[in-house]
Amino acid sequence: MTPIFQTSTYVQAAPGKHKGYEYSRTHNPTRTALEANLAALEEGKYGLCFSSGMAAEDTVAKLLKPGDEVISTNDLYGGSFRMFTKIYANYGIKFHFIPMADHKLVEKYINKKTKLIWIETPTNPMLNVIDIKAISAIAKKNKILVAVDNTFATPYLQTPLKLGADIVVHSVTKYLSGHSDVIMGAIVCNNDGLAEQLRFIQNSCGAIPSPHDCFLVLRGVKTLHIRMDRHCENAIKVCKYLLTHPKVGNVYFPGMPNHKNHKVAKAQMKAFGGMVSFTLKANNIKEAHKVLSRFKVFSLAESLGGVESLCGHPATMTHASIPKEVREKSGVVDSLIRLSVGIEDVGDLIEDLKQALK
Question: Which positions are catalytic?
Answer: 25, 77, 149, 174
Burial 258-291 (b: 16+ CB within 10 A, else e): ebebbebbbebbbbbbbbbbbbbeeeeeebbbeb
Burial class (CB in 10 A: 0-12, 13-18, 19+), 351: middle
Q: What's CA 134's distance to the chain center, in Å?
A: 20
Taking the C-alpha atoms of residue 119 and residue 170, their distance in angstroms, rounded to an integer, is 12
Query: What backbone torsions phi and psi does residue 196 show, to the nearest 5 degrees?
Result: -65, -45
Contact criterion met (CB below 8 Å) for 98 and 105 = yes
CA 251 centroid distance within chain: 20
For residue 280, list its beta bridge partners.
Answer: 248
Distance of CA 202 to the CA centre of its chain: 19
CA of residue 298 relative to chain centroid, distance: 21
3-state SS string for 228-286? HHHHHHHHHHHHHHHHHCCCEEEEECCCCCCCCCHHHHHHHCCCCCCEEEEEECCCCHH
Residues 6+ away with beta carbon under 8 Å from 85: 95
